[in-house]
C-alpha cells in the first residue's frame, strides 16, 4: 500500500511504470475505503484505472495509400485510443494543447468585444489562486476533492461578484501542484483586478480559500506575441497535474528510451479519484460562444467579429507541417514520390517513436523532440554528476 507523505513527491520512472503505479494506487485506495466511495464505486475505479494503464500504447500515423510508406513524424493520439483521464500523460498533453490553440485563436476576438468607451482599459491578466492549506497527504483523495470543490465555488463567486462586467472573459482551470497544492489558474480579460476585493469575496463563504499567490499582466511587444503568450499560458494552465508536463511531451520518455522525473503516482491517483466527474477547466463571459472550434479554428459562423484570415496559414508555414493532420494532400510521400493519398493506421507507440528517432526525427506531430535535446540533457546530467563528485 502506497501511503507516503509529501516529502518524496517526485520519482524517476518510465511511462509504462508510471501508468501502472497510478492504476494500482487508484484500485488500492478504492479498496481501502471503509465508508464507501460516494458517487464512485469500485467497478468504476477499476475501469478507469484499466483505461489509464492501457492508454497511449497505440498511436495513429499516416500511411501512403499508394505504397504503404508511413510518414515519419505524423503520429497522433486521439479519439477512441485515449482514456481522457486528468492524469494521463498523453491525454493531458492533448487537452492542454487544444486549450492553447483555442486561447490563441480566441484572444483577438475577445479583445474586439471589450467596450469601446471604458474608463479603465481592458488588459490580459493571469492569476493563481490557492487554498490556504498547502501540501497534502498523497492518499487523502477526499480532502483533495473537498478543496477542489470549494476552490471552484469561490472562484465562481469572485467571477460573479467582482470580475464579471460587460466584455470581460475568463478561462479557469483547477489543478494540483507536485506538492499537492490545489490551485486555480485564471486567464482573465478585463479592467485591472482589485485583488483585495477578489480575496475578500472568496473568503466570505470559504475562509480557507482565496490566497492569490501570483498575478501578472500579459502584454508582449506586439498583439500577436501577446496572443501567443496567452496560448502558452493556457497550455500550461490546463495540464491538471502539474510538474509532470515536461514528461508528457517527452518522446524519449514515451518511447521507453529514458526515464524521467514525474509527480508522485499516489498523488496523481488521488487526484484522479478526487476529481472524478468534475469539469476542471471552464470558460466564462465573452470566452463563451465564440465562432471557434476547440482548437481555435474559425467555424464559419456568421459573426460581426473580424476574423483574421491569414492566421491559420501563417501558423502552417511556421510549423513546416500541416496544422491539421487530415489536410496533408500536398505532402509528398518519401516512399513513392507521389503527392500522398494518406490514410490513418494504428501502430505500437514505442516501436513507432524508436523508428522515427533512429531517423533523427520526432514521431509525434508538432512534437518538440530534437536529437540535440537528448544529447544536451545527457550532458547536463553528466555535469551534475561531476559537480557532486
Q: How far is the CB of 51 from Zn ion (least distance, A)?
A: 7
Q: How far apart are CA 76 and CA 59, in angstroms?
A: 6
Size of the chain in residues: 389
User: Cβ-count burial of 161 within 10 angstroms (0-12 exposed, 13-18 middle, 19+ buried)?
Assistant: middle
Q: How far is the CB of 338 from Zn ion (least distance, A)?
A: 6
DSSP-derived secondary structure letter, 139: T
Q: How far is the CB of 240 from Zn ion (least distance, A)?
A: 11
Where on the chain is the footprint of Zn ion (CB under 5 A)?
A: 55, 64, 66-67, 69, 82-83, 88, 91, 333, 335-336
DSSP-derived secondary structure letter, 113: T
The residue (of 85 and 237) whose beta carbon lies closer to Zn ion is 85
The residue (of 63 and 111) whose beta carbon lies closer to Zn ion is 63
Three-state DSSP at 58 gives: strand
The residue (of 82 and 311) whose beta carbon lies closer to Zn ion is 82
User: Cβ-count burial of 6 within 10 angstroms (0-12 exposed, 13-18 middle, 19+ buried)?
Assistant: middle
Q: How far is the CB of 167 from Zn ion (least distance, A)?
A: 37
β-sheet with 182-190: strand ranges across: 209-217, 123-131, 182-190, 169-176, 281-285
Q: How far apart are CA 25 and CA 33, in angstroms?
A: 12
The residue (of 107 and 274) whose beta carbon lies closer to Zn ion is 274
Q: How far apart are CA 110 and CA 296, in angstroms?
A: 12
Q: How far is the CB of 139 from Zn ion (least distance, A)?
A: 22
Q: How far is the CB of 326 from Zn ion (least distance, A)?
A: 18
Nearest alpha-carbon partner for 47 in 227, 276, 201, 217: 276
Q: Mapped to the 3 state alphabet, what secondary structure does 296-355 carry?
A: CCECCCCCCCCCCCCHHHHHHHHHCCCCCCCCCCCCECCCCCCECCEEEEEEEHHHHHHH
The grid coordinates of residue 360 equal 533523427
Residues 73 and 363 sit within 8 Å (Cβ to Cβ): yes
Q: How far apart are CA 366 and CA 382, in angstroms?
A: 29
Q: How far is the CB of 84 from Zn ion (least distance, A)?
A: 6
Q: How far is the CB of 94 from Zn ion (least distance, A)?
A: 8
Amino acid at each position: 500500500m502506497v501511503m507516503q507523505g509529501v516529502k518524496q513527491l517526485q520519482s524517476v520512472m518510465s511511462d509504462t511504470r508510471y501508468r501502472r503505479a497510478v492504476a494500482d494506487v487508484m484500485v488500492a485506495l478504492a479498496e481501502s475505503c471503509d465508508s464507501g466511495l460516494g458517487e464512485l464505486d469500485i467497478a468504476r475505479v477499476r475501469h478507469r484505472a484499466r483505461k489509464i494503464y492501457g492508454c497511449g500504447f497505440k498511436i495513429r500515423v499516416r500511411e501512403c495509400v499508394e505504397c504503404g510508406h508511413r510518414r515519419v513524424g505524423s503520429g497522433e493520439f486521439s479519439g477512441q485510443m485515449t482514456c481522457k483521464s486528468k492524469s494521463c500523460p498523453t491525454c493531458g498533453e492533448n487537452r492542454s494543447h487544444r486549450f492553447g490553440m483555442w486561447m490563441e485563436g480566441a484572444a483577438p476576438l475577445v479583445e474586439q468585444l471589450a467596450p469601446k468607451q471604458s474608463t479603465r482599459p481592458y488588459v490580459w491578466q493571469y492569476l493563481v489562486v490557492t487554498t490556504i492549506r498547502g501540501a497534502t497527504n498523497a492518499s487523502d483523495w477526499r480532502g483533495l476533492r473537498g478543496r477542489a470543490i470549494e476552490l471552484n465555488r469561490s472562484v465562481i463567486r469572485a467571477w460573479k461578484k467582482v470580475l464579471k462586467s460587460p466584455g470581460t472573459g475568463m478561462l479557469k482551470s483547477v489543478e494540483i501542484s507536485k506538492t499537492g497544492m490545489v490551485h486555480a489558474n485564471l486567464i482573465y480579460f478585463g479592467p485591472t483586478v482589485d485583488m483585495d476585493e477578489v480575496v475578500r469575496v472568496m473568503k466570505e463563504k470559504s475562509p480557507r480559500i482565496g490566497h492569490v499567490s501570483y498575478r501578472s499582466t500579459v502584454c508582449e511587444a506586439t498583439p500577436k506575441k501577446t496572443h501567443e503568450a496567452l496560448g502558452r499560458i493556457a497550455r500550461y494552465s490546463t495540464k491538471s497535474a502539474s510538474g509532470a508536463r515536461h514528461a508528457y511531451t517527452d518522446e524519449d520518455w514515451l518511447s521507453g528510451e529514458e526515464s524521467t522525473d514525474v509527480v508522485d503516482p499516489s498523488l496523481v491517483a488521488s487526484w484522479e479519484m478526487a476529481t472524478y466527474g468534475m469539469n476542471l477547466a471552464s470558460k466564462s463571459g465573452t470566452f463563451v460562444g465564440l465562432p471557434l472550434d476547440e482548437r481555435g479554428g474559425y467555424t464559419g459562423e456568421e459573426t460581426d467579429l473580424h476574423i483574421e484570415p491569414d492566421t491559420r496559414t501563417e501558423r502552417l508555414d511556421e510549423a513546416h507541417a500541416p496544422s491539421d493532420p487530415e489536410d496533408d494532400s500536398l505532402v509528398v510521400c518519401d516512399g513513392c514520390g507521389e503527392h500522398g493519398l494518406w490514410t490513418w493506421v494504428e501502430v505500437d507507440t514505442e516501436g513507432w517513436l524508436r523508428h522515427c528517432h533512429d531517423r533523427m526525427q520526432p514521431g509525434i506531430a508538432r512534437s518538440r523532440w530534437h536529437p540535440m535535446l537528448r544529447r544536451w540533457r545527457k550532458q547536463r546530467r553528466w555535469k551534475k554528476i561531476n559537480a557532486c563528485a
